Amino acid sequence: MRAFEAPVGKWHANCDDLFKTKRKGDVLENRDLKGTRDGPELPCEGLPVWKAGQGFGFLSGIRILDLTTSVAGPYGTMLLSDFGAEVIKVERPEGDDARHWGPPFLGGQSLWFSSVNRNKKSVVLDLQSGEGRERLLALVRTADVVVTNQPVNVQRKLRLDHESLSAEREDLIFVSITGFGLSGARSELTCYDLIAEGYSGVMDVTGQADGAPQKIGAPAADMLAGQDAAMATIAALFDRARTGKGRKIDISLVESMTRFLTCRLSSYLGSGDVPRRSGGTDSVIAVYQSFDTADFPINLGLGTDGIWTRFWDVVGDAEFGRRPEFSSNTARREHRQEIVERIQDILRTRARAEWLDIFATARVPAGPINRLDEVAQDQDLQDRGMFFALEGADQGLVPQIGLGIRIDDEPCVPRAAPPQLGEHTEELMRQLDGMETN
């Protein structure tokens, strides 16, 4: 097994408490996991293994009731949990839809579910029953924030809408994540990430010029909407601390995804030119695309006049780069085809690794086009806490993708692995019963 080669103390002042590791000189080495399963080693078994810890505590004392399923809502509440909020995940008896999304499964749990549900407490309630409804309302009265992603008509039918829940707590922050928002002609329509991407226009500008529209290779609308929900919730909590007022937050997958295209839409609105998909070769920056090398493709971004000059100097063709017709980005766009052909001829003469070394030295923005397995094995990303494995209660190792935000030189340490269905029902119901008794 590959060692996790981070100097002791690089990640956190108390590495021994955070990682299940053994010392080997100045290197932290992963706990030996060989023999934990039959067959080939899983990629997650080569990741740094973290112990659950306290993590960031900025939202400590905030309780969030998570009524969401799938990706957008759970991702948003997970972000809030990473910043310290307590998240109680209320699930139907059959569980979050994403629990059933697979294969792949690991330890009996969907990896899609595990990716967006760490730190949470799972409670199973049948909201169709009177008892389940009363238990939910009791939880609402203890919560600072309620997040739901049911369609508008379902919110009303189950009385999970803003009006019903805010009646239980006046200063409640109510967060709704739907496909099209709580108002408008399309508000009653059902929606998924794919549908939102189509509405937003991002699919029409993604893909090769002569190819079909393409979906982004990740649930982008879901992730963006979840992030928007978390951001708006933190802003509302900050405002409530000053004013004492609750808020109604309305997040739309389509609108979050549309805002993602701000630069493209602004360019159209101010010029009338409709962007078309081009395989990523039509940037406002004259040279901002991928090229072939002698072995693997490379991305190259010549975004300023200084970078442009350094590039041509380092590839040994300074005279070409200093031609007067290439003196500005606007001028270079007019000659894009000629420039691209010249660059392509040059880059094919060496391997990608050689070019990356050359460009790094010359401060020319360039990089590889990694496969996901290469991304997961990126040592720099691992050293910064982007990829790690947690040990779940019953499912063994659970691969996790980090928050990707470091504060005071520390990564966020999860408090708990993703929960099993209903794992915390008894614990939280006892708490409610105790509160009612008192």
Catalytic residues, by residue number, are: 222
Residues in CB range of 190: below 8 A, 6 or more apart:
151, 179
Report d(CA 196, CA 200) in Å as an integer. Answer: 6
CA torsion, ordered 269, 270, 273, 277, to nearest 10 deg: -60
CA torsion, ordered 219, 223, 226, 227, to nearest 10 deg: -170
Residues in CB range of 221: below 8 A, 6 or more apart:
72, 193, 196, 197, 200, 253, 254, 256, 257
CB atoms within 10 A of CB 26: 11
Report d(CA 101, CA 70) in Å as an integer. Answer: 9
Bridge-partner residues for 300, per DSSP? 289, 366
Are 21 and 15 within 8 A, CB to CB?
Answer: yes
**Backbone phi and psi for residue 425, each to the nearest 5 degrees, phi listed first:** -60, -50
